[in-house]
Amino acid sequence: MTNLAPQRSDFGETVPGIDVPVFDERAVRASAGLLFVVGFFGWMTAFYTGNFQPLRGFGALFLIEMMIRLTLNHRFAPAMALGSLLVRWQRPEWVSATQKKFAWWLGFGVAFLGCLGFGWLGFPAIWMLVLCGLCLTLLFLEAAMGICVGCELQRVFSKTPPQMCPGDRCTYTPAERLSAPPTNN
């Protein structure tokens, strides 16, 4: 009897029958949604009250989350672990780990710049709201619409074409839209 459970690779999971390391897109989207909710609360608090402490906490949490995903193992990252738990009853949708690695480095970079700006650089509050708003927009696009901006950027900047994209984005070409509605004769 063969073991069909995913195994850990250098980055991602190795699934029998799939040639590249992968992640479960459903768990990734669930974790993005969880992070978005926490970050949106912090952003709204900072915007309406001027109290940036919850937003600073979110920035630190997000930075640590991305660092754990990129260096240790995605299973140890709190939001990813909770997201995986929440979708454990759903069929996994495997996507290539290469694109997710690029996207998570992008998230790490934005979070690092945000934490650096809040701390040592002392960026003005409006800059921090804009930077955190960008991060929240990326999280929202991932969670709500399945659009991985990091994956799209990886497509543009990588020498090798991506494979196993979320929603079959790598291979799917939408049909052309009709310019006028069909007429009934």
CA distance 17 to 122: 50
pTM of this structure: 0.84
For the chain (length 185 residues), average pLDDT per consecutive 10? 54 90 94 97 96 92 95 93 96 91 92 86 88 93 89 82 78 70 63
Q: Reduce the DSSP state of residue 169 to 3 states and report it.
A: coil
Give every CB contact of residue 31 below 8 A, 6+ residues apart in sequence: 65, 77, 79, 80, 82, 83, 84
